[in-house]
Each structure stands twice: as structure tokens, then as C-alpha cells.
Chain A
Amino acid sequence: MHSITHVVSTGLVLFSLFVIGYYAVVNSGYLVLHVLALLELRDDVRESRWDPPFRKFASPFYPGIGIVVPAYNEETTIVESVQSMLSLNYPEVEVIVVNDGSTDATLARLRESFDLEAVDADIPFDVPTEEIHDVYRSTTYEELLVVDKENGGKSDALNAGIWLTEMRLFCAVDSDTVIDRDALLSLVRPFLEAPTTAVASGGVIRVANACTIEDGVVKEVTLPKTGLPGLQVMEYLRAFYSGRLGLNRINGLILISGAFGLFQTDAVREIGGYRHDTITEDFDIVMRLHRHLKETDREYTVDFVPEPVAWTEVPSTRRVLGRQRRRWYRGMVENIVTHRRMLFNRRYGRVGTFVMPFFVAAETIGPLIEGLGYVLLPLAWYFGLLEIEFFVVFFLLTTGFGVFLSWFGVFSEVWSFNRYDSPWQVLRLLWYGVLENFGYRQWKTLVAWHGLFEYLKGVDTWGVMERTGFSTGDD
């Protein structure tokens, strides 16, 4: 009995030391990322506030963009979404709506609203997707193309659009995403400034719950009043204003949100398009681009631009959010496993030597360690190994640092684009930064463990996102 107690005690002490060291390393990494993000944001803000004296629409130098919109059973929103995409401010846009075997009236609504006619000619090249039934052209909108195909999932639908567009760049968007009118003009900037090397750029995703949206445009930005979407606003701010901006500073961006990203069409075709057998296709595509371009010794950039914004509705119930986060976690683990060769591999530059290892340590293993800690704490207390004072100080320190990083994100928002322009909303955001550490953060560690078990069990379902719809001026 004595030796068992000794083994458990030693194990707990070693685990505690590991956790302390781990927190020190990961939080130092986060701090560095946040500082890098602030420097990057400073440059971006200065750049975006200078509006050079020329008429962008009269310039012939903006490359054509194909906006690929996968649609599955979107009959209630599809017409409004397409109209919103068609009215984006950009000189040359083609909207490719891919009806991915919808069982509702999505296609009928499109045909009726946009005067679609089926193209008689066969597609003269192979499209690596499920069977395409018909390609439709609008007789009123030159820039609209609709593809009707057998259901094959989001990746398959995206691939159909990518193969059928003739535009040099394509923008992958979700059909329920609302894109700011001028967003493409900013998102395309890396491709204009590095025409031979830019392969992808991503913008910011913001939470649309509680915002007022009219005619596909966000008219009024409001912070959600309920806790769960509000906490996600905080998370999104931190992820985009700190994580991605910081990684962008060192050309180490490994994730561009599937709801709003711009890619060089040929580069994505070259790697075979989006993979069907992954549940986080947006993460996978960027990793594969990095991998392919490094392996073929090509000079390239993957950029993040903080000004262009797309708005999306986030889950407002714990059940749906849990399902979404478990899927994200499974997808993250799956991608790390798939691309494990890149880890600590100098061949993949900073992505392999710093970004991926840090990402794995902080985002993949981090929640698991934290969750384990919550289980081991009572055990340590039981064995008399827990120094309550030390634990309280350690908890307050890590929580305090977590709050500081969240507040850093809020400060970046206020200092830069300031979309939440009321100080009361900002105060509420700061409060969410505190609140998320008590309950929400612990719940997310549970979700991470659940996600890991699902991954190990081979669960590969997407789950359904239940939406309540955006507020309109009439509400």
C-alpha cells in the first residue's frame, strides 16, 4: 500500500511539474504570438486607413474571382445569398452555386429567380466529383453559373465549382455567410502585391448573431446578449486578431476559415482540390498547400488580411456548439495525424519547425492536459499532495494570463476596426473574457476529450448546424 501511494504521489508530482513547465512554454508562445499580432495589426491598420486616389473599379488589374457557394437544402436563403454575392463590390466576379443534391426546392428557387437554362453541351473535361446532372446559365446574370450534382458533401461541391470556374482565383464561402460589400477588394491584396507567389489569403469571420442584416448587408453590429454566442465573439476575436495575425507575421498561417478564403485556383486544382475524407476540409487544404509547395521547392505566401469581414451565425445552444467543437477537434487531430511528417521537419520551414509543434502543444494537447488536471486535482487532494495555496495562486495566474490574452484581442479590435463601437459592448466583451474561464473553458476540455474519443472510434459525421436566422430590420 505504501509503495502504491509512493508511485501515485511521484506520478502526481511529476505531472504537476510537467503542467507547470507546459503552461510556462505555451503561454510564452501565446505572448510572443500576440505581440507579433499587434505589430502586424499596426501595419495593416495603417495600410487600410490610407485610401489611394484611384478608382478601383476602373482598374484592369484586379484578377477575376470565382465565388464558389456549396448549397445543400438551402431553399429558404439561397436566393438572398446569391443576390448578396452578385452585388459584392469587385470588378470581375463569377458566382458558382453548386446544388449538392438538395432534396428541397433549392434548385427550383434558383431556376425561377435567376432565369436559369441548362447548358446542352457536355463539360469538355473531367470534373473529379460525384455526377454532375446539369450546368445552368442565367439569361439575366452573365456572372452566375449553377451546377446541379449528386450529393457528395461540401468538399465535393467545392471541387465542382473550382473545376468549373475559369477565374484565376476562387473564394470559398458558405451559402449562409454574409460578406461585407468591399471585402473582396481587401482580401485580394496579397495576390496583387505578390502576383507570382500568393496562393491563399483569409479574412476575418465575425459572429452575426444579434446583428441586423438587410439585403445581405450587415447594417448594425450588435454583441449577442446571450452568453454562449457572446463567449464565441470573444473566442473569434482572440483567434483572428491574435492567433492568425501573429502567425501571418511569420508566414506561418495554417488555417483559413472555410467560410471565407481566397485561393489561387490552379494551385488548388494541382493538389487535387478539397479532400472528401476529411471533416475539416478548410484546415486540410491549407496544410496540403504548404506541404505541396514546400516539397516542390516553390516560393509562396499564405496570408491573413484582418480587414475583410464575413459574418456567420454561431451555435446558440450548448448541444449544437458541443457537436461543432467536437467535429473541429476530431478534424484537428485527423489533420495533425495526416500531416505528422511535417512536425519538427525543417523541410517545411517555420510551419514544420515552429507553427505546427506549437499548434499541437497548445490547441490539440492543451485542452486534454487541462482536462486531465481537473481529474487529477481531487486525487492529489486525497493523497495530501495538493498545496491549496499553490493551487489557488497557480489557477489565478493561468486564469489571469488567459484573461489578459483575451483582453489583448478586445484591445486590438477597439484600436483597429472597432466594429463594436459602444463602450458598453466593449465592457461586455471584456466581461466575456473573464467569464469564459469559469465553466466554459472547463466544458471545452470535456468536449476535447469527447472529440478525441470520437476520433479514436472513427466517428466521421458532420452533424447539423441548427440556425435561428439573422435579425432583419423588420424584426
Chain B
Amino acid sequence: MADVVVFGYIIPVVVILAVVALLVGLSLAVSLYLTISLSVYRSVKQTRRDRVRPDLRNGLFDRLFAEDPDWEGWVEDMSSVEREVAESLLDEYLRELDGKEAVQLRGLGEALGIPERAGNRLSHRDVYTRLDALTWLTLLEHPDPVLDSSFEPSTPRERASTVTLLDSSDRLPDTATGVSMLLEGTDEQFTVFGQDTLYRVARTDPEPLLETASNEYDTWPEPLLAQVLSVCAHLETSVRGGELNWLTAALETQNEAIRAAAADALGSFGWRASLRDQVFLERATDDPSPLVRAAVYQMLAAWGDQEALSILLFALVEEQHPRALTLGTTALVGRRDRIDTDAGAVLGDAWAWSDEHAAYDRRARKSGSEPVGG
């Protein structure tokens, strides 16, 4: 075989090939060893866990409905594997149970020493370890380790977890604090958990969220703005105060997804006189994007008063985009009891289609989804 010159040195090809072969062989040996070892380790661990799970589950249910569960006595005799399984069962059932059973079950968490361990893990450098700790404290409704420590949530997930913990254990001072913890200084979008947390915190008192959004919406990245708008779309409609100019401004941004989300959000605030401005509504119903126009039609249908519905009907008569027309008509069909005009006569096929589908929806809902014979 030939030689190769590398940086002035003459190296036989066979040497190069031998080095590469050594590297490949070593990689193969290492990956084989790691894969098999890991597989055996996980299998053994799983087998041990599976072996004790049924008995532990029965024991847990027996104590769950007992007057004195004596969790400490039960836990005392457990091996480390049994403790691990007990923790996983606890995690599973705390997510499913409410009320008295959940309260009783939380005692097992205390007996297993979870709050203390979780408290210690709040200062761990790994973010997922901290998140697990916060999750346990939430499931156990045990906020003290967070309140008594200098823990400061530093990522959007941690902020959401902390707010959920404080909110679920009634230790969140007020909505404004929750909103501020979730949104202040943030430039990242939420996970669905974060978005859901914002919604749960703001739904009974939307004003702090509206105020924060009004002040900061133009600094937020578009995905975050879209998420906040989506939260606003699900808020209580009884909000009296709160600045809405940012919502109408969002309806005129470049991004059609933001405009559509703004229209969805505005569906919750139809009683506001400021939104009844004719010029504003004309601009909204004339939006160049059919996606946004469809959202505006749904907004008008959500408002549901005579004036809004008649604007909607007129807009639909003029609508050229078949899908926007169908979506708008579907929204109008939902308000058919509030309109005097024979919408079917002016909207034709779109009305007939939407109306018939709405009738099928009602029928299916009425009959309920029972198992079918196969």
C-alpha cells in the first residue's frame, strides 16, 4: 500500500487505516458496553419496581380510606425500591384525586420526606431538578420551602411552576403578583403550562394582565404576544376596567396570526363602547387576510348584540373568500335566535351547510357518545 505525506511526514496508508480501525473498534466496543449495561440496569430496575407495585397500590388504597392512615409507620418498613414506587404512585394519584382523598394522600408525601428533599433541590444547578421540586411542592400544596428560602425562579417554566404552586396553595398575594412573576421582563414565549398558568391566575381578575399587556405588548416577541392574546380570548367577559387600546392596536399589526389572535381576544370585550367605532369595525371587516376576517366575524358573533350581528351579516354578504364566508356563517348560525333577517336567503349554500352541521352537532351531543357495535 502507498504512503501518505502529512505535514511533511511520510506515513504508510496501513498505519492510517490501522488508527482509524482502532478508533472505530473502540467506538463499537464502548457503544456495545454502554447499550447493554444501560439496558440491563433499566430492565432490572423496572422488574424490581413491577414486582412491588401491585402490593403497594393496594396498601396505598387501604390507607387512603382509613381513618388513621399511619403513613409514617407504613413508609418506615419500606425498602428504597418500594419508596421509589410509592413516590411514583403518589405522583400519579395526586394528579387525579381531589378533595378529601387528595388531602389524605398528601400525608404520604410528608412521610416520604418529599417536601424537605424538594426544598433542598430548589437550589440545584439543573433546571429540571428544580422544576421537579416545584412540581412536588405543588402536588403536595406545600409552598413553605419556596416562601422560606431565597429561591428566585429564573426561567419561564420555573416562573410558571412557582406561580402555580403559590396559587394552588392560596399563597399568591394577588393576581397582579402572579401576572408580574409570569410576564415581567420576559422575552420568551410560554410553554402551554405557562400559558395555562397565566390564564388560571388572570381569569378571575383580568385587569392586571390587561394593564401589563397594555404597557409591554410592543416589547414582546410575536409568539409571546400571540399567547397572551389567546389567554385574553378565554378571560371572563365581566371585566370592567382595563386598557384595551393595545388589543385594537394588535389588530393592525403586520402579522396576520397576531391580528387573528387579537380579534379572538376582542371577542371577550364587545360591550366596550370604544370598540363600537364604525371606522374601526370597517377596517377590521375589510382586513386583507381571510384568516383575520374570519376571526373578526367570530368576534362579532361573540359580541352577539343586534348591532354586531347586523354588521356581521352585511360583511358576510360582501365576503368573497369562501372559507372566511363559511367560518363567519358558522359563527352567525350560533346566534341564529338573535337575528330577524332570513340569513339563509342571503347567505345561500354557506348558511344551509353551517346550519345543517350545527343541527348534527346538537343531535350528536344529545345522544352522547356511546360505544358502537363493531
Residue of A whose beta carbon sits closest to that of B257: A196
Nearest CB in chain B: distance from A122 CB, A: 5
From residue 337 to 383 of chain A, which have CB atoms closer than 8 A to chain B?
A: none
Count A/B pairs, Cβ under 8 Å.
194
CB neighbors of A among B336-354 (8 A): 348-350, 352-353
Which residues of chain A come closer than 8 Å to B255, judged between CB atoms? 196
Cβ–Cβ < 8 Å partners of B326 in chain A? 124-125, 166
Provided the pairs A53-B139, A113-B372, A404-B27 are in contact, do residues A125 and B323 lie with their beta carbons within 8 angstroms? yes
Mask of A137-169 contacts with B, CB within 8 angstroms, 1/0:
111111000000000000000000000001000
Pairwise interchain contact B199-A60, C-beta atoms closer than 8 A: yes
Residues of B within 8 A of A80 (CB): 374
Contacts of A193 in B (CB 8 A): 189-192, 223
Residues in chain B near residue A195, CB distance under 8 A = 189, 223, 226-227, 230, 257, 261
Total residues of chain B contacting the partner, CB 8 A: 81
- Verify if B370 is at the interface (C-beta below 8 Å from A): yes
- Which of A54, A410, A411 is the one whose CB lies under 8 Å from B193? A54
**Nearest residue, chain A, Cβ from B194:** A52
Identify which of B17, B39, B329, B348 contacts A397 (C-beta below 8 A).
Answer: B17
Residues on the A chain within 8 Å of B364, using CB: 137-142
CB pair B369 A142 closer than 8 Å: yes
Chain A binder among B78-86, B128-136, B238-246, B275-283: B128-136
A192→B195 contact, CB < 8 A: yes
Q: How far is the CB of A168 from chain B (nearest CB, A)?
A: 10
Closest to B258 in A: A196
Return the chain B residue nearest A140 by Cβ: B367
Chain-B contact segment, one of A205-213, A253-261, A414-422: A414-422
Residues of A within 8 A of B14 (CB): 389, 393
Q: Which of B1, B17, B330, B352 contacts A121, CB < 8 Å?
A: B352
- Name the distance in Å between B329's Cβ and chain A's nearest Cβ: 8
- Which chain B positions have C-beta within 8 A of A60? 199, 234
Query: In this assembly, does A456 line the interface, its C-beta being within 8 Å of a C-beta of chain B?
Result: no
Q: Which residues of A contact B368 (CB under 8 A)?
A: 140
Chain A residues, Cβ within 8 Å of B21:
393, 396-397, 400
Provided the pairs A53-B139, A196-B257, A396-B21 are in contact, do residues A137 and B360 lie with their beta carbons within 8 angstroms? yes
User: Which of these, A113, A124, A138, A401, contacts B350 with CB under 8 Å?
Assistant: A124
Within 8 A of B (CB), among A378-410: 387, 389-390, 393-394, 396-397, 400-401, 403-404, 407-408, 410
* Chain A residues with CB under 8 A of B157: 52
Q: Are A426 and B39 in contact (CB under 8 A)?
A: yes
**A463: CB under 8 A from chain B?**
no
**Chain B residues with Cβ under 8 A from A196's Cβ?**
222-223, 226, 255, 257-258
Choose one: A141, A393, A400, A421; the contact of B28 (CB below 8 Å).
A400
Contact B367 A139 (CB under 8 A): yes
Determine whether the beta carbon of B35 is less than 8 Å from that of A426. Answer: yes
Interface residues of B in 215-238 (CB under 8 A from A): 222-223, 226-227, 230, 234
Contacts of A411 in B (CB 8 A): 31, 34-35, 38
B42 within 8 A of A: yes
- Tell whether, in the assembled complex, residue B36 and residue A52 are in contact, meaning their CB atoms are under 8 Å apart: no
Instruction: Mark interface residues in B38-68 (1 if CB within 8 Å of A CB, else 0).
Output: 1110110010000000000000000000000
Residue numbers in B under 8 Å from A56 (CB-CB): 192
- A118 CB, nearest partner CB in chain B, Å: 10
Residues of chain A lying within 8 A (CB to CB) of residue B132: 50
Quick check: is A25 within 8 A (CB to CB) of the other chain? no
CB-based contact A421/B43 at 8 Å: yes
Q: Are B363 and A139 in contact (CB under 8 A)?
A: yes
Nearest CB of A to B295, in Å: 11
Q: Does A8 contact B (CB under 8 A)?
A: no
State whether A50 touches B128 (Cβ < 8 A).
yes
Q: How far is the CB of A321 from chain B (nearest CB, A)?
A: 26
B89 within 8 A of A: no
- A197: chain B residues at CB < 8 Å are 223
Residues 422-442 of A contacting B (Cβ, < 8 Å) = 422-423, 426-427, 430
Could you tell me if A53 and B42 are in contact, using CB atoms closer than 8 angstroms?
A: no
- State how many angstroms separate the Cβ of B126 from the closest Cβ of chain A: 9
B100 within 8 Å of A by Cβ?
no
CB distance from A402 to the nearest CB of B (A): 10
Flag whether B361 is at the interface (Cβ < 8 A): yes
The residues of A that contact B374 with a CB separation of less than 8 Å are: 79-80, 83, 113
A120 interface hit (Cβ, 8 Å): yes
Closest A residue, CB atoms, query B25: A400
> In the complex, are the beta carbons of A52 and B160 less than 8 A apart?
yes
Please tell me if B166 contacts chain A, counting CB pairs below 8 Å.
no
Beta-carbon contact of B322 and A126 below 8 Å: yes
Q: Any chain B CB within 8 A of the CB of A319? A: no
Interface centre among B190, B192, B226 (most CB of A within 10 A): B192
**A141 B230 Cβ-Cβ under 8 A:** no
B291 x A389 contact (CB < 8 A):
no
Residues of B close to A474: CB separation below 8 A:
none
- Chain A, residue nearest B350 (CB): A124
Residue numbers in A under 8 Å from B349 (CB-CB)? 121-124
Once A122-B353, A142-B361, A422-B43 are accepted as A-B contacts, the answer to whether A408 and B31 lie under 8 Å apart by CB is yes
Q: Is B175 an interface residue (CB 8 A)?
A: no
Q: How many angstroms between the C-alpha atoms of A408 and B32 in the bound complex? A: 9
- Whether a CB of chain A sits under 8 angstroms from the CB of B24 is yes
Provide the bound-state CA to CA distance between A141 and B199, in Å: 30
A457 within 8 A of partner (CB): no
A32: Cβ under 8 A from any B Cβ: no
Residues of A within 8 A of B190 (CB): 193
Q: Determine which of B25, B28, B95 lies in contact with A53 in the assembled complex, contact meaning CB atoms within 8 Å.
A: B95
Q: Mark B76-103, 1 if CB is under 8 A from A, else 0.
A: 0000000000000001000100000000
Known: A137-B357, A196-B222. A61 touches B128 (CB 8 A): no
Q: Is A455 an interface residue (CB 8 A)?
A: no
Residue A51 is within 8 A (CB to CB) of chain B in the complex: yes
Is B11 part of the contact surface with A, judged by Cβ < 8 Å? no
Contact at A430–B35, with CB atoms within 8 Å? yes
Q: A124–B327 contact, CB under 8 A?
A: no
Q: Is B285 an interface residue (CB 8 A)?
A: no
Asked whether, in the complex, the Cβ of B34 is within 8 Å of the Cβ of A50, the reply is no
Is the CB of A5 closer than 8 A to any CB of chain B? Answer: no
User: Contact at B192–A62, with CB atoms within 8 Å?
Assistant: yes
Q: Hey, which chain A residues are within 8 Å of B161, CB to CB?
A: 52-53
CB nearest to A427 among chain B residues: B36
Selected contact of A124 from candidates B13, B24, B322, B372, CB within 8 Å: B322
Instruction: Give bound CA distance, A124 to B361, whole Å.
Output: 18
Kindly state whether residue A7 has any CB partner on chain B within 8 Å.
no
In the complex, besides A59-B196, A119-B356, A192-B191, 12 extra interface pairs with C-beta distance below 8 angstroms are: A52-B164, A52-B191, A54-B196, A139-B367, A140-B364, A193-B190, A195-B223, A195-B257, A390-B17, A400-B28, A404-B24, A407-B28
Provide 12 A-B residue pairs closer than 8 Å at the C-beta atoms, listed in order of the A residue: A50-B135, A55-B95, A56-B192, A59-B199, A140-B367, A194-B223, A195-B230, A396-B21, A400-B25, A414-B38, A421-B39, A426-B36
The 4 closest A-B pairs by CB, nearest first: A125-B322, A142-B364, A121-B352, A52-B193
